[in-house]
Structure formats: C-alpha cells, structure tokens
Structure 1
C-alpha cells in the first residue's frame, strides 16, 4: 500500500467515525419521545422508529439491598387468605379520563384504587377483579386485571387500571392476589 492509498484510507475511516459520532449525538437521543402520565414519576416512552409504547419510571430511584448485591429474588405469591388483614382498601375513585389524546373519543376509562399495605412485603403486582353491574342487577362485564405496582410495607399507595367504558353501570371490585418481595428485618 502506497502513501496515497493509506491517506485515503485514514480520511475515509475518519469520515465514517465522524458520521457515527454525529449520529450518536443528534439522532440517537431522539429515538424516544416521552409523554407525561397522571402517575408521578412515570411516563409513556414512544419509540419514534417502531411506534412501540412502554410505561417507564422516570423519577428518583432508590436502590434496594438486593439490587446493590446484584441479585433480586423472584416475586413471591402471597396467599389470598392473608390479604384481608394486611392490605386494606382505603378508597376507590372512578374517573372518566380518556385514554386517547387529540380529541379522539375514547372507549376506555381509568379506575383508581388506593390501598394501605400493612404487610411485611413490598408489593410489586396486584390482581383485582372489577365487575360492572347494571342498575337492574345484571352483570355487564366482570374482568380480572393484573397491574405492576410499587407500594412499600406499612405505607399507602395507589394505582390506576384502564377499563372499558362503563356508561352508568355501578362498579364493584375485589382483591384476588398480590405479588411482592419480603422486606429484610
């Protein structure tokens, strides 16, 4: 390889490297777009290239003892018979919040649940059943919903579940199960 060819090779590699740096600085950070949600410290992350939507936690993160060690135990399924004494219903609110932005009529609404976690587990997942009953007593629908939550031991917290539009029906709900990680005493 003569001197002219090696200079052309180095200039070509430099241009490729420079274009990669420009791509990394200008295009890659704009791969995702974030939309705020009503839940504090959470946002919807939208991939601009694929359209994939994911809910992500964007707020302050407190590292647990297990994460510091590097291995987190698998969530444990709590028996249903322990729940009535340890995790108590505080309040339920029902709001007609459209799911779709931009003025499109929504076919969904949000059902908000508030709980007090009196157990020795940090709750990570809740499964509840919501039933919509007509005024005459007929059941319009009854569905089981599973939702990732973050309610630490001996604290209250809340989460929202997207449900089909109710339009005048009365809502009833029951706790089916929780999954969580035992706290270290």
Structure 2
C-alpha cells in the first residue's frame, strides 16, 4: 500500500515544484513594459537647453513638464510637477505618479512635492522615467504621452546613456562637464571653449 501512495506523493510534489518554477520565472523574467521611476538630486534644466525636447500639460497654476532624453523601444525622460502656491508656509503634498500603456496601468509611485517658506511653487523633485514608447504619464490632473508630446522634430539629447565608461570623471575634455545622474546615466554639458 505504501508503494502505491509514493508515486502520487512524488507526482504532486513534482507538480508543485514545476508550478513554483513557472511562477518564479514569470515574476523575474524579462518584461516588455519595463518602468523605472527614480528621484534625482539635480536641478531642472534651463529652458534654453530644452527646445525640441520639452513638453508639458496643465494650466498656468499647475503643470507637469517632461524633457525627452532618448527614445527607442523604451523612452527616458525627466519629469517634474509644480503648482502655484503663493503662501509663506512650508507645504508638503503626496502625489500619485501613474504610467499607463494601452489602457492598463503598468507603473505607479507616490511622489512628495514640497514648498519652502520663501518659494511661490510647490514642486516635485526631478524624476527620471524609463517607460515603454507611447506610455502616458499621469500626475495630479495632468498627463503627458511619451514621446508624442514633443512632436516629430526633437533634437538629439544632451544627456547620454553610458555604462561604466566614465565612472568618477568630472572633465572629459576642455569645455565638457560630465555629471552622474544615476547608475549608468550621465549628463554631458558644454561649459566653454575646447
């Protein structure tokens, strides 16, 4: 009798192991809709650096702004949200940042927007987004579709994607400055004559 029970137990155990492996592979395997949302400790780029790559959505009193960095199958963009708040108090506001694609929410993160006592605006930190091409970014009542919002003629980026090649470098050559934004992502800016 114990011989007959053994194969059933073994089959059930084997089925459970196979099911667990399938679940693990689905959770850790490659995904077509990869979304990354990172807060950066950098200043928002000046408007003169943004022509052809800047896009926004909102009103004069509250707006979301994006700057396209690069876009192939996945797009990289900087994002911020600001709201006019002319009060002499510190404010803090929790906002939900959502990423949508083909009618489905594929990413979400809570972002804290802050206002100092002396400023006129409550704003989020600069956010680095990696989203699939054609994704819609929603924050508060504003939404931006990446990269469609910038039209067809956006200029090549001043921010480049490099892995490990420039770690720790401050000056590449005369006139160029490299600033590390996050792992593998560097900003390169022209600072003067070569």
One fold, TM greater than 0.5? no
**Higher Rg:** 1
Question: Which TM-score applies when normalising by structure 1?
Answer: 0.35
